[in-house]
Structure formats: structure tokens, C-alpha cells
A and B are shown apart, each in its own frame.
Chain A
Amino acid sequence: MIKTEAICKHFGALKALDNVDFILNDNEVVCIVGPSGSGKSTLCRALNGLEIIDSGKIYYDDKAIDFRSKEDAKAVHSTTGFVFQHFNLFPHLSVLDNLLMPYLENNKGSKEDGIKLAKELLQRVGVLDKSDNYPNKLSGGQKQRIAIARSLMLRPKVLLMDEPTSALDPEMVKEVLDVMKDLAQSGMTMCIVTHEMNFAKNIADRIVFMDEGKIVEEADPETFFNYPKTDRLKTFLSKMLY
């Protein structure tokens, strides 16, 4: 379980996160939506220490985490996967080595076990045939599926995803969403920043709406889409659904 208490993050004078209380329960899938610049990425990244918060508290399973401490950061990074909008695969490593290197560097097991797990995961996301390729010649959809497989190599308990389909050509969005759906249904705890409203509606247990660095409203998908309470969410929804 991840919980934040009144976290704030400034970029210069700009308040990217403004007293955010966020919670992600075990086995829950939460989607974060909101207009551009509302702080969705900043929140998602702060949960993993990619942004260091200015104030407030972040808890993992009720343990307060200070990402400036190497120990705390390691504890989180070894149990939390992260998927980026732009994949961030390692271009100098083959697909298999992209998965294997972090596994071996983390002393997760023998090389044989690592290869076995990597192949299982690549099979699961449907790109096993690309094991020996280098990332640069693959399609965006393939790259993102590989990045997801890589994020699973350390067997994380939680997966954080920052707009995993936003950099993809439209025809490749579905193949990635399918993988995410499969993960969600397997019980993975997930926090997904997304603009895919239909995906959120179908997959999320809860949807969080952010605006101007604040969580403005959150609800289960049914309530979220059919009974929005604030004007800001109503406006946002009317824009998103044409």
C-alpha cells in the first residue's frame, strides 16, 4: 500500500503538487486523469522518488519513506516497477539483456533463472520473438510492451505507469492496453496516469482527477463518469468525451 500525506512539490514558483493526499491500496488499480500540467506525472514520479517532494510524507506499507536516503529508496525501487511514456529502453542492449541486466545486477538469481523469467515475461507481453533484437528497430508498441516486461523483472508488488500509451501511434495503443489489462486482472497493484478514458472506465477500481496540483475529485468509474460532483471535472469530462 502507498499513501501520501499533504505532499507538496514546487518547480520554482510553480506549485506542481499542492497538499496531495493519495492512497493506493494493495491489489487496487487507480487511474490518474486530468488536464495537461495538472501534476499527474509529478505525483506518479514522486511516489517513486524520481521527484523529491518539498514537504509532506510518503508511506509504503505504513513505513515513512525518505527518498533522499539510499536505503529507503532501494527498499522502494526493489519492489516497485515504473513504466515511462517514452519507454526508456537501453538502446545498447538487446531486448533480452534489457530485462536480464537489472535482474542480475540486483542479484535476483542465476543467469539461467533470469533468462527463463525474461522469456516468460516477453512471452506474456507477446514479443518473445524479438528477444535478440536491439530496441531501436522495434515499433513503439513493441518497445512499451518490452518496457513493461522489464519493469516486472524484479517481481514488483506495485507498478507505476506515467502515460504508457501517450507516445504511441494510435494503432499500437490497444496492444499495450491489453497487456496492462492482463496485469490488472492478475491482481497487480497499479497506479496509471492516462488519457485513455475508456480504459480507465473499464479497468480502474478508482479514478483520481487532478487539477492545478490538487486531487479535486476521486471515485469509482461508475460514479466518476456518471455523477461528477465538481464543475472542474464536469468541464474536463465534457472536453474528453468530445
Chain B
Amino acid sequence: MGYHRVNVASILTLENISYLGYGAIISLLIALVAVAGGILIGTLIAILKLSKNKVLRIIANIYIEIVRGTPMLLQILFFYLGIPVLYQLIVGSPLRVNIYVCGILAMALNSGAYCAELIRSAIEGIDKGQREAGITLNLSEATIMRKIILPQAIRRIVPPLVSEFITLIKDSSLLGTIGVMELLNRAKIIGANNYNYLVPLVIASIFYLVMTICISYLAKNLERRLAVYDQN
């Protein structure tokens, strides 16, 4: 048997492109849910890290170290393949896991560690004079946080959170490993069916780039609006 002729036109069908477009939407949604979960978890971990209680700080540090010191793919596989075994060992009955729940959970927990560091450093980056001014104006710690520190920290957090979101869009491709039909997985399937990976991979790249560039652009606008006080 000889080699297949490369036939671009037969791959560039509306059907294939919309199949990939669907994958892009799935990747985007996965990243969106994961980053939302990550912000939630990250806020909790950041609160632990900033607390005066040493034990809480240590717990937060251990969490962050584990997440940052191991590959995300391993974490995903741990949830998909490891947790069911653990469950069976403890409970006795088998556990059926949903790949989407598993994958998104793993990504959210991963993102939580990174978000925690972003949030913590944004809060700690606020000049300590701001807090002192609040104290001398007889504001409670909670009010200082709510009215002075957080409004300023949030403005600083937006840019790194957007990069985190973009990272998650790209990392969602790792979920293909456990069978999630996201963008890259679909590109591989089309490639396999047509004996041609080049075209679907290029199209997938374009989808990724459109998503990431649009998000960067929207984020720039958001930043500008949040930073109104810097220009006035």
C-alpha cells in the first residue's frame, strides 16, 4: 500500500469545523468553571495563608506545594484513576466517576493553589499605610478589608487571573487523556479518521488563538475601566 494523498478540501468540511468549534466551546466552558472554582478555592486558601493561626498557614502551604510540585496531568489522572481505587478500599463498593466532574474538579483544585498565591500577593502588595490609615480612622479589620484593601487588590488581581484563565483553556486539553471531548481531542479524532493531523491541528490552533486573544482583549478593556482612579 502506498501513501494517502493529502486532501485538504475533504477535511475542511462544515461538519468537521463545527465539530471542532463545539470542542472549543467545551474547552472554554471547562476553563470557565475551573477558574471560577479556582478563585473560590484560592480565596479560601489565601485566607488561611494570611491568617494568624500557624496551623492554618501550614495547611495552606502544604496544599500549595503539592499542587505546584506535581504535574497537572498526574492530578487529573489521580482523580480519574486514583480516587476510585481509594474509594473502593475505604467504602468497599466501586465508584463510578464522571470524566467531566473529575476533570473539572482536578483543574479547579489545581487552579485554586495558583489563585491563592495571586490573591495573597495582591492583598499583601497593598501599601501597609492603607491599613494604618483605616485603623486611625477607627475602622474595624473587616471594614478595612472590605472597603480599602480588597477594592484595590481586585484591580491588581484581574491581569494575573486572566492569564490563569488562558492557561486553563490550554490545560483543558489534558482532559482529552481521560476521554473528555474537548478541542484537541476532537482534532486528533478528525486527524485519525482522515489520516491527516496537520489540518485539524492547525484549525484547533486557530480556535485556541481566537479564544485567548479575545479574552486578552476583553481583559485589557476591563482593566482600563477598573483603573479609572489611576488616570483621573
- Judged by a CB distance under 8 angstroms, whether B229 is at the interface is yes
Residues of A within 8 A of B139 (CB): 102, 105-106
In the complex, the chain B residue whose C-beta lies closest to that of A45 is B132
Stretch at the interface among A29-37, A79-87, A233-241: A79-87
Task: Determine chain B's interface SS by DSSP, over half rule.
Answer: helix
Binding site for A on B (CB under 8 A): 127, 129-130, 132-133, 135-139, 143, 147-148, 151-152, 155, 228-232
Minimum Cβ distance to chain B for residue A156 (Å): 9
Q: Do B232 and A102 have beta carbons less than 8 Å apart?
A: no
Instruction: Determine which of B129, B132, B155 lies in contact with A92 in the assembled complex, contact meaning CB atoms within 8 Å.
Output: B155
Interface residues on A, range: 20 to 34
Residues of A within 8 A of B138 (CB): 74, 77-78, 102, 106, 154
Residues of B within 8 A of A102 (CB): 137-139
Q: Do B129 and A86 have beta carbons less than 8 Å apart?
A: yes
In the complex, the chain A residue whose C-beta lies closest to that of B152 is A92
Q: Do B143 and A105 have beta carbons less than 8 Å apart?
A: yes
In the complex, the chain B residue whose C-beta lies closest to that of A85 is B129
CB-CB nearest 10 A-B residue pairs: A82-B136, A88-B133, A77-B138, A102-B137, A134-B229, A88-B129, A134-B232, A78-B138, A92-B151, A92-B152
- Judged by a CB distance under 8 angstroms, whether A123 is at the interface is no
- Judged by a CB distance under 8 angstroms, whether A143 is at the interface is no
Q: Do B130 and A90 have beta carbons less than 8 Å apart?
A: yes
Q: Please, could you name 24 A-B residue pairs with CB atoms under 8 Å apart, sorted by A? A: A48-B136, A49-B135, A50-B135, A74-B138, A77-B137, A78-B138, A82-B132, A82-B136, A86-B129, A88-B127, A89-B133, A90-B130, A101-B147, A102-B138, A105-B143, A105-B147, A106-B138, A106-B139, A134-B232, A136-B230, A137-B231, A150-B137, A151-B136, A154-B137
Q: Give CA–CA (A141, B119) in the complex, Å.
A: 33
Residues of B within 8 A of A134 (CB): 228-230, 232
Given contacts A86-B129, A88-B130, 20 further A-B contacts (CB under 8 A): A50-B135, A73-B135, A77-B135, A81-B136, A82-B132, A82-B133, A88-B127, A90-B133, A91-B152, A92-B155, A92-B229, A105-B139, A105-B143, A106-B138, A134-B230, A135-B229, A136-B229, A150-B137, A151-B137, A154-B137
Q: Do A88 and B152 have beta carbons less than 8 Å apart?
A: no
- Judged by a CB distance under 8 angstroms, whether A55 is at the interface is no
Minimum Cβ distance to chain B for residue A109 (Å): 14
Q: Do A88 and B132 have beta carbons less than 8 Å apart?
A: yes
Residues of A within 8 A of B136 (CB): 48, 50, 77, 80-82, 151
In the complex, the chain A residue whose C-beta lies closest to that of B150 is A92
Contact A50:B155 (CB < 8 A) given known A77-B137, A154-B138: no
Residues of B within 8 A of A153 (CB): 137
Residues of B within 8 A of A106 (CB): 137-139
In the complex, the chain A residue whose C-beta lies closest to that of B141 is A70
Q: Give CA–CA (A136, B155) in the complex, Å.
A: 15
